[in-house]
Amino acid sequence: MKYRLKDADGTPIDRSVEDTWRRIARATAAVEADPALWEPRFYAALQDFRFLPAGRIASGAGTGRSVTLFNCFVMGTIPDSLSGIFDHLREAALTMQQGGGIGYDFSTIRPKGAGVKGVAADASGPLSFMDVWDAMCRTIMSAGARRGAMMATMRCDHPDIEDFVAAKSDPARLRNFNVSVLVTDAFMAAVKADGPWDLVFDGRVWRTLRARDLWNRIMRATYDYAEPGVIFIDRINDMNNLAYCETIAATNPCGEQPLPPYGACLLGSINLARLVDDPFTDAAALDEDALDDLTATAVRMMDNVVDASRFPLDAQRAEAQAKRRIGLGVTGLADALAMVGARYGSDGAARLTERWLRRLARAAYLGSVDLAREKGAFPLFRADPFLASGTMMRMDDDVREAVRTHGIRNALLTSIAPTGTISLYAGNVSSGIEPVFAHAYTRKVLQKDGTRTEEEVTDYAVGLWRDLNGDAPLPDHFVSAQTLDPMDHVRMQAAAQKWVDSSISKTINVPEAIGFDAFQDVYMQAWDLGCKGCTTYRPNPVTGSVLTVSEERRDAPPEVATARLSAPAEPHGDVIHLTEPLDRPERLEGQTYKLKWPGSEHALYITINDLIQDGRRRPFEIFVNSKNMEHFAWTVALTRMISAVFRRGGDVSFVVEELKAVFDPRGGAWIEGRYIPSILAAIGGVIERHLVATGFIPGEGLGLKTDPQANVVTLAPSSAKACPACGSFELHMIEGCMTCAACGHSRCG
């Protein structure tokens, strides 16, 4: 339902998943000299969900629509001038409009307080411009494009680094950004030696502090509110096959693709869970010959996408075609390990992970060499410096010799992406190289009529075990993210990183009760074991808790406990299948209400217009206006969000419930003899009265799933954070991205 091709009215053109596979195979084969030869081979790779192109390819290939098939972009280097900054803001908007997630390094902007020649003013600093980017992203999202996703990085020696580290402590700021610190080798050495650290811009030392003090600030911030992440930038550049012709200073939003200015990369994953023979037996093993064949075919398909895709900017097209970078990875690793009897996080599982990913890397590089023999090496290929990179120095001698002799088609080939939705689509295999998050859980699905159904979802390996063994207890080596030691996560990430030439999207879940020193040790272990970055998630008051188990299932065996959403999380976030919006007639009937909030100088005027549908009057759009400019941004956002919900049809009374349950920590107000916990709750009350007046619901508090009047002053859980889109307390972390289970809002797209 998410990826199938549909007409403008929502009628499916892809009637089955086989139709979608055929569309992708035909589009990727079209650039071949003999499409008829390659289309069936590409289709065979897609069958049984063995190769999973990323979502941009699955939804866009062969549609004829003006969309990019690339997932990841890093934008150009931001110049330290006002005109240059806003030129790059425009480029970012164009890229996001086509569905690309973007990354930016803000280290090139002069620090706050620096002089600006010619205007007798002081610079506002990079964080002020990050706020502008954040607002742009909200605007693009409100215009109906895909959800925005941005990454902001800053060097650890920038004079504003301390403000950057603390920026996300404000839960209302930079909501559309992930942020990461670019940590250098020199900084890590200074931290370990407890030495001084200079903050520098444009050759000038602004001030000096203890390296360990800055490190502690970074660690305390991510301990308290899960950001910033840490990127070991020198290691990335040292290992980069293209170090001779590019310098990397940023990554895509989820971190698996370090990219140069205007760098672009497309993604795809080999489903390891589908390649295990004789699962759960003594003979269980991954079919490594099948892995070789499938990898070679996947590399060819992805290389073809470089030529088949559109690009938001000409500079992105030029960069992609000059280097032909792809990001082939894996998904279903944890399931495959369970199927061969290995406990995720154990030494044995780490050795198997390293073996399988080494095999994939060999097959990918040799497949790309074969393509170079047939179609030519990537234009910027230079044998000696390419082979001198850190990654190529690790490669087997026969691979190095093949590259030296024939060249290579793709400059970089491997990456481990977050695969939440495509993993669900493939039968709920474990995501990327992450552990199984929950063996079974309940997922909400929005139906065409606006109602939600709950679907029981079981992990792929668990379901296969049940098919083979009935109700027999799961073996001890079945583990979930909730039971793993943080160092188990680090061990698995490090094992995979040895054979991944780009990077890895991986979240290390740590318990809320972990001590701060133990938490810091996770990052030091990641550094010492050769990881290119580290991202953790600890439940906290700013971002909320991750997973709760439903009360009705607490007595169930651990292997079948159901993940429920409270301030919750489940592995991949809700699948939200939206219908096409209702068409707007030229004329609508409506009503305007005046709302005077005590203490506010100006009233709010709320206009609700209605549509007649099936003989019933239903809300279609809402406008919230006020002369008070303090309210401008959030009233516009509220207008657009609620109107979008109304136009989708179905039962929209939940809007009333959600708004009336929002409290203001500064206190509510008494209006007409009743306590209203927030101005948003008051707006919810106005909408409710309108729905009653038009007959959409029978009465106040009636026709709703719950009566929010009964608990309007109930506080949310102390660790919960409200969704910036809908206000509900159902945010949870999915592979580094906060996602709302109630409305589907995500910071990362």
Q: Give per-residue pLDDT as tens, 493-517.
A: 999 999 999 999 999 988 888 999 9
Highest mean pLDDT among 275-289, 665-679, 714-728: 275-289
Asked if pLDDT for residue 191 goes beyond 60, the answer is: yes
Residue 329 forms part of a structural domain:
yes
Mode of pairing for the β-strands spanning 536-537 and 508-509? parallel
Asked if pLDDT for residue 730 goes beyond 70, the answer is: no
Predicted pLDDT of residue 589: 87
Predicted pLDDT of residue 562: 30
Annotated active-site residue 711? The verdict is: no
Residue of 91, 227, 246, 256 with catalytic role: 256
Residues 607 and 661 in one domain: yes
Residues 334 and 372 in one domain: yes
Residues 282 and 421 in one domain: yes
Residue of 71, 252, 304, 428 with catalytic role: 252
Determine the average pLDDT of the residues in 373-387. Answer: 97
Residues 308 and 427 in one domain: yes
Residues 77 and 207 in one domain: yes
Determine the average pLDDT of the residues in 1-12. Answer: 80
Q: What is the SS3 string spanning 58-123?
A: HHHCCCCCCCECCCEEECCCCCCCHHHHHHHHHHHHHHHHCCCEEEEECCCCCCCCCEECCCCEEC
**Residue 611 CA to its chain's centroid (Å):** 36
Residues 364 and 379 in one domain: yes
Last residue of a domain, one of 216, 239, 262: 239
Residues 231 and 262 in one domain: no
Give DSSP secondary structure letters for 237-251.
HHH-TTTTT----EE
pLDDT range class, residue 135, cuts 50, 70, 90: confident
Least confident of 140-149, 257-266, 302-311: 140-149
Predicted pLDDT of residue 545: 47
Residues in the chain: 749
Give DSSP secondary structure letters for 159-211.
TTHHHHHHGGGSTTSSTTEEEEEEE-HHHHHHHHHT-EEEEEETTEEEEEEEH
Predicted pLDDT of residue 466: 92
Residue-wise pLDDT for 281-321, tens only, equals 999 999 999 999 999 999 999 999 999 999 989 999 999 99
Residues 201 and 301 in one domain: no
pLDDT range class, residue 148, cuts 50, 70, 90: low
What whole-number distance in Å separates Cα of residue 499 and Cα of residue 208? Answer: 38
For residue 421, CA distances in Å to 1, 341, 426, 665, 718 come to 11, 26, 9, 35, 30
Annotated active-site residue 455? The verdict is: no
Taking alpha carbons only, the member of 297, 251, 230 closest to residue 71 is 251
Last residue of a domain, one of 189, 214, 239: 239
pLDDT range class, residue 421, cuts 50, 70, 90: confident
Determine the average pLDDT of the residues in 338-358. Answer: 97
Tokens of 460: 């792929």
Predicted pLDDT of residue 559: 35
Determine the average pLDDT of the residues in 176-198. Answer: 96
Residue of 254, 726, 737, 740 with catalytic role: 254
Contact 342, 477 (CB under 8 A): yes
Tokens of 706: 């719950």
Tokens of 641: 């969000």
Annotated active-site residue 216? The verdict is: no
Share of the chain above pLDDT 90, in %: 53
Residue 5 forms part of a structural domain:
no
Determine the average pLDDT of the residues in 703-711. Answer: 48
Domain count for the chain, please give it. Answer: 3
Predicted pLDDT of residue 702: 63
Residues 280 and 324 in one domain: yes
The domain that holds 258 is classified in CATH as 3.20.70.20
Determine the average pLDDT of the residues in 469-481. Answer: 90
Last residue of a domain, one of 204, 239, 274: 239
Residues 376 and 500 in one domain: yes
Instruction: Find the domain containing 631 and state its range.
Output: 589-740
pLDDT range class, residue 383, cuts 50, 70, 90: very high
pLDDT range class, residue 199, cuts 50, 70, 90: very high
Residue 584 forms part of a structural domain:
no
Taking alpha carbons only, the member of 719, 68, 734 closest to residue 438 is 734
Mode of pairing for the β-strands spanning 276-277 and 285-286? antiparallel
pLDDT range class, residue 147, cuts 50, 70, 90: low
Residue 450 forms part of a structural domain:
no
Residue 543 forms part of a structural domain:
no
More confident: 418 or 584: 418
**Residue 169 CA to its chain's centroid (Å):** 20
Residue 366 forms part of a structural domain:
yes
Tally Cβ neighbours within 10 Å of residue 287: 14
Contact 68, 56 (CB under 8 A): yes
Residue 54 forms part of a structural domain:
no
Mean pLDDT of the chain: 84
Asked if pLDDT for residue 614 goes beyond 90, the answer is: no
Tokens of 314: 């000409």
What whole-number distance in Å separates Cα of residue 593 and Cα of residue 605? Answer: 6
Contact 106, 97 (CB under 8 A): no
Residue 359 forms part of a structural domain:
yes
Residue-wise pLDDT for 455-468, tens only, equals 788 899 999 999 99
Residues 605 and 736 in one domain: yes
Predicted pLDDT of residue 145: 40
Contact 157, 199 (CB under 8 A): yes
End-to-end CA distance of the chain: 17
Residues 299 and 259 in one domain: yes
Predicted pLDDT of residue 596: 87
Asked if pLDDT for residue 749 goes beyond 90, the answer is: no
